[in-house]
Structure 1
């Protein structure tokens, strides 16, 4: 069943209102959540109505958090949630949706957000990493690449321990670069986390060299 068959578009306003689906992407540590929180603050300060979405944030359920210490309450998204219905009920035309950890959205949920941008005149900003610890695309991220009006690569420098550009979001288990496991395992970039992640260059990821142990 498609979104369009369930929900009818709203009546058009006197002046057309267009929404944009934008993907902001970068490696771990590139500042995605920080930018999401800043943009949410700026839009709220400007008087625009909107909602924040997150999924499996390291800080806990229903929280959007930056490693710089900034947090905000958000709606926790699970795979069964219909985002078209949510946006229809909560966000008027000209409003906004900011979705962090958007790589965890299902492809159907990405399509629902694209529908909301097109039919409801809502700006949708999604913040996501693209690939998992095995360097494979997350299904949600792949659909965002396919459907987004704009893709914005973040410019914050993220490097491997050797100084080369960071290319791979490596999962570290017992001091080793993981080569198997579930695609989604919530963790952080600190050595004390139950599941640790580290950005590596392609060479050191391929060779399984996580580098010296240290607090990141």
Structure 2
């Protein structure tokens, strides 16, 4: 039975490599998948899913105005084995509900990967809705950049200083974010940030 999955984790937890691995596993069995990525995700180029270890591949770009159910239903959904969504935190509430409808009406499994909360420890719109409606939730783990304990969030920094306010969305990678535990999000080791 098809389900809606949400795999979430702090930056650096391997979400993008996991989605690429899942796509490869389906395709190695001659099963077709549809890879989706939000338009705002342009860190490695628009329409690219890229992992920090260097693997990447193109994906279908979705904007906030796209109806994902219609897009998937018209994309030869009978030939698809699964729908895989990268950076799902950037989806709208309506788009998450459309993905749930894909599962329920089309019988397709949908696996969404993304951050749970932003750099200020507030839930993203898409993540909040996924936490509310997903059939299965799985946390992907990584370690705090400062102490090695489990990272639960990410700290944004600029010019060697932590950033606790600003725009919710700022696309970046290791040059702008560090995975941290809650304690070190509040109390980062400034010398380590300055060395970045």
Same fold per TM (> 0.5)? yes
Alignment of 1:2-151 (within 5 A): 18-55=1-38, 56-90=41-75, 91-92=77-78, 95-151=81-137
**Can you list the C-alpha shifts for 1:74-118, whole angstroms capped at 9, x where unaligned?**
011211111010110112276211001000001110000000000
Q: Structure 1 regions of 5+ residues with no counterpart? A: 1-17, 191-195
Deviation at 1:168, TM superposition (A): 2.3
Q: Secondary structure at the match of 2:35?
A: strand
Q: Which runs of 4+ in 1 moved over 2 A?
A: 162-165, 207-211
The match for 2:179 is 199
Deviation at 1:164, TM superposition (A): 3.0
The match for 1:174 is 159
**Structure with bigger gyration radius:** 1
Does structure 1 retain, via aligned residues, the 8 Å contact 2:143–2:180? no
Q: 1:165 aligns with which of 147, 150, 175?
A: 150
Give, in whole Å, the separation in 1 of the partners of 2:134 and 2:105: 15
Query: When the two structures are aligned, how many residues end up with a matched partner?
Result: 192
Does structure 2 retain, via aligned residues, the 8 Å contact 1:94–1:123? no
RMSD: 1.6
Give, in whole Å, the separation in 2 of the partners of 1:211 and 1:127: 32
Does structure 1 retain, via aligned residues, the 8 Å contact 2:146–2:189? no
**Can you list the C-alpha shifts for 1:166-204, whole angstroms capped at 9, x where unaligned?**
2221111221111211111101113xxxxx011122222
Q: Structure 2 regions of 5+ residues with no counterpart? A: none
TM-score (norm 2): 0.91
Give, in whole Å, the separation in 2 of the partners of 1:214 and 1:36: 31
Deviation at 1:210, TM superposition (A): 4.5
Does structure 1 retain, via aligned residues, the 8 Å contact 2:15–2:140? yes
**Alpha carbons of 1:45 and 1:142: their partners in 2 closer, same or farther (altered >3 Å)?**
same
Does structure 1 retain, via aligned residues, the 8 Å contact 2:8–2:138? yes
Give, in whole Å, the separation in 1 of the partners of 2:190 and 2:155: 8
Q: Secondary structure at the match of 1:95?
A: strand
